[in-house]
Amino acid sequence: MIAAMNDLSETRRVQASSFTQKERWKERLWFLIMVLLLVGLLSAIGIAVSYQQQIKHPVLTRSDNEMINGGKRFVDYFYSLNAATVDRDQFRAISMMMKPEDREARMNYLVTTDFVRKTQLSGMSTEIDWSRAKSELVERHEGGLVDVKYTAQLLRNNQTVGQLDILLRLVPVEKTDTNTDGVGVWAWKDIAENPFEGGDNE
């Protein structure tokens, strides 16, 4: 009887320890998400102010190639399903978004779907195949904004899994540590027949 009670006591201690470990992991994850969100929102405010000033007093310019390449970088980050880099890639994509509401919506999506953790556990590796891709500047707007359409193949573990068709509205911005291209994303829309999850925004 005493031995049975000791076994029960040991089992309870192990379960309590496991539960505590899960709680600590969740707290760390939420802390990281909150830090990223705060940094993103503060950065967004600065970029938005910079953009409004830029419309009134346009000084920043980027070549067409710089704009197109900056957009490619966003696409790489936004559609990242790389287990080893997904957290950094998503943060970089959010850092390129110009509107605070877009940043907040993306962060909310990542949190509610547990996107980062699930991708990390999947062990997947994805990339955009730009070698046969098409990039076309389709329209110019006031304030230096340009619309660029990208058509490329998405590779997962070196296998083609679908075509990516995305339209980005881009604007030149100040270069920063998190946005080294100096290109911001004002809006985006996935126009593929089978849009990838979380890739539609206007």
Tell me which of 143 and 201 has the higher pLDDT: 143
Task: Say what the pLDDT of residue 192 is.
Answer: 61
Both tokens assigned to 124? 């997947």
| Neighbour tally for 166: CB within 10 Å | 24
CATH 3.40.50.300 holds for 2-190: no
Task: Say what the pLDDT of residue 59 is.
Answer: 63
SS (H, E, C) the chain: CHHHHHHHHHHHHHHHHHHHHHHHHHHHHHHHHHHHHHHHHHHHHHHHHHHHHHHHCCCCCCCHHHHHHHHHHHHHHHCCCCCCCHHHHHHHHHHHECCHHHHHHHHHHHHHHCHHHHHHHHCCCEEEEEEEEEEEEEEECHHHCEEEEEEEEEEECCEEEEEEEEEEEEEECCCCCCCCCCEEEEEEEECCCCCCCCCECC
Task: Say what the pLDDT of residue 14 is.
Answer: 44
| pLDDT tops 50 at residue 16 | no
Domain boundaries, the chain: 2-190
- What pTM did the predictor assign? 0.67
Computed over every residue of the chain, the mean pLDDT equals: 79
The values of phi and psi at residue 66, to 5°, are -65, -40
| pLDDT tops 80 at residue 31 | no
* Mean pLDDT, range 113-121, rounded to an integer: 91
